[in-house]
Amino acid sequence: MRVGLAREEPRPRRVLAEEHGSSPVEFVLVGMLLSVLTLAVLQFGLTVYVRNVVHDAAVEGAYHAALADTSLGDGIERTRQIVARTVGADYAADVQAAERDDLGERTVHVTVRATLPLAGLLGLPRMMEVSADAPIESFD
């Protein structure tokens, strides 16, 4: 009988139990996860910003077209200028305006269909639609 000798574990079990080199792997995996999460939050913020800019341009275009001395074409052009100046001319490709009768009041309705940004400003064309209404002014 031998006393004081430690019994050695079989080699495969010992290799799996070792943790040497696991810290760099964990750092890379956690770093990648945090980087992807950060980029996703930034992309969401950019998408919300672009949507707000396009919506504000539609509102401004509708109010401009609703003035007594302007036309629907003036409102469309105003909307295109604002969108092109802030996020790019590609986002102002599809702008439409029409006069409508809402609840007995004549209004101008402006609709903008723009690119939905998915990677930076690149994305799916005409997938984001915003609209705005404004009451028509008259000299009466």
DSSP 93: S
**Block means of pLDDT (10 residues each) for the chain, length 140 residues?**
60 66 86 96 96 97 94 96 94 94 91 94 92 89
Q: What is the pLDDT of residue 24?
A: 86
Q: What is the pLDDT of residue 139?
A: 77
Report the distance separating Cα 94 and Cα 58, nearest Å.
11
Tokens coding 71 = 């036309």
pTM for the model:
0.79
DSSP for 55-69 reads HHHHHHHHHHHTSTT
DSSP helix/strand/coil, 50: helix
Report the distance separating Cα 74 and Cα 84, nearest Å.
15
Residue 38's alpha-carbon distances to 14, 27, 32, 120, in angstroms, are 38, 16, 10, 13
